[in-house]
Amino acid sequence: MIQYEGRPLAMLIAREGLREILLATLVLGALAAGLGLVHWALAIPPLIVWIWVLSFFRDPNRHGEFAPGQLCSAADGRVTEITEIEHYAPLGGPAIKIGAFLSIFNVHINRAPSSGTVRAISYQRGRFLDARHADSGRLNESNTLLIDPDEPMPGPVEVRQVAGKVARRIICHAKVGDHLTLGERFGLIKFGSRTEVIMPRLAGTQVAVKVGDSVRAGVTILACQPLREAVNAVTPIPTAPIPDVPEPARAAS
């Protein structure tokens, strides 16, 4: 059988959603059957909801093509924020944050924005503001991966999974020391959320999206960074200290 990312090509549903799909099948199936006894048309709404639940956990095959220095979007959704930060401690200098909002109709699989090794993972308990709110990344429940990109990409790069007003379950399969490839799936957030990618702001950094753009994880080019030798020719790359963070409280399925 043809495989992709270690799974049969026929399995285009995220395994993390099997529990919800089973529950929805039992409840909505029974409801549709009961309403159908009254009139067949009454069974249609529960079936539509069931189809939506199935669609929410879809996991399409993704194979984007990228040039050296390019970062991909970590999530499907719409860009709601592009912010320049004068000094971002985890990256050791100026940074650019790109936030994307995932509606309940988007694919919710999160993918690595660059190839590299996971240096640290930190889980933060917090609030559940609307994920479109600019402060949601700072105040909401979140899970953050700090990635040291492969040479010759400069770094580090941070990707943050942020729970939203509806989403209450963050799943992250990556562990400290894992190597992720560009566009590799590492987790998801259930039922509406936000994902942020924070990268060094260097001479030559080019953001490839704008607020309002639709993006797709593992496919859309988010930004292009100058390669390490080009950066070194201008100014030394700041080295961010390894943060003292605990292992995530719940970063597995």
Give catalytic residues, as residue numbers.
193
Tell me 15's DSSP state. Answer: G
Query: What are the beta bridge partners of residue 23?
Result: none
Q: Which two tokens stand for residue 29?
A: 């199936």
Residues paired with 4 in a beta bridge:
7
Distance CA 104, CA 44 (A): 20
Sheet holding 221-224, edge to edge: 70-72, 221-224, 206-207
Q: How far apart are CA 201 and CA 234, in angstroms?
A: 13
Q: Which residue has tokens 């003292």?
A: 244
Residue 79, φ and ψ in degrees, nearest 5: -70, 120
Residues 140/181, Cβ–Cβ less than 8 Å? no
CA atoms of 89 and 91, how far apart (whole Å): 5
CB neighbour burial string for 203-230, b if at least 16 within 10 angstroms, e if fewer: eebebbbeeebebbbbbbbbbbbbebee
A 10 A CB-CB count for 5 gives: 13
